[in-house]
Structure 1
Amino acid sequence: MKVLSQTVLNKQVILVTLLVLGLICSSSFGQYELSWYTVDGGGGRSSGGPYELLSTIGQPDAAYSAGGDYELLGGFLPGGPLCFVNFEHFARFAGQWWLTGTGLPADLYEDLDNEVNWLDLGVFVEEWLCYCPAGWPLK
């Protein structure tokens, strides 16, 4: 009988010790800070692991933000990798398209053939999808 009660007592001491250590450790970790927020239309709940975020969607109010292991993007989250394009190239492309329709007369990337062809479109799409600077605010 004495051996059984000693075993139960040992288990209780270990449990209480682990509980106290857990509380001490959890309070010693850094706290998160929410410095500002907005209230917009729409919204939703995102969660992963021990974290949960209640937020608006489709409202890119906050610029791209990162720190430590965390990253925050405003608006909808796309399904693929995020990239940017040089918008001057897009403006040139759109301007020429608007003026001439599908028969674009100018070579957008000046590869000296003086026409817009699949090569120019390929270069444009490659820039659009792959060569975007990581630090752009629209990321």
Structure 2
Amino acid sequence: MHTYRWSLGIYWLIFICIYVIIGIVINAPALAGNDIDARGMWEGASTSPRIFLLVIGIMLTPLSIAGFVANGVTRKYFIWGASGLIVVYSAISALIMTLGYPIEKWIYEYYDWEITLNNPHLFIDAS
């Protein structure tokens, strides 16, 4: 399952580069000094990692089980290993997504922008 490490790394590299480019393009007028509301990009970024993890989970068994069983790994141990891989991938993805919010906040504070939510959250008041 070591080949799946490359797919996760390449996916996150492409994902972060695309979101940085989208953020620069959308906030280009604000970078030029015009007075506009900057939009937070990371708020809507969670859909793609979920779909990626779903696809990896679906494709893991049909693409890999034959090779592992042919090399003497039982189906039981393959399922345990595949489950562990998905748990580790989910934890890594959750960590990267969680780290994205403070990084985005730091960037917005650096430029003195106010983050505008694209979809206001339901629970904005604790009372």
Normalised-by-shorter TM-score class: under 0.3
- 1 or 2, which has the higher strand percentage? 1
- 1 or 2, which has the higher helix percentage? 2
TM-score under structure 1 normalisation? 0.24
TM-score under structure 2 normalisation? 0.25
| Higher RCO, 1 vs 2 (CA within 8 Å, ≥6 residues apart) | 2
Select the structure of larger CA radius of gyration: 1
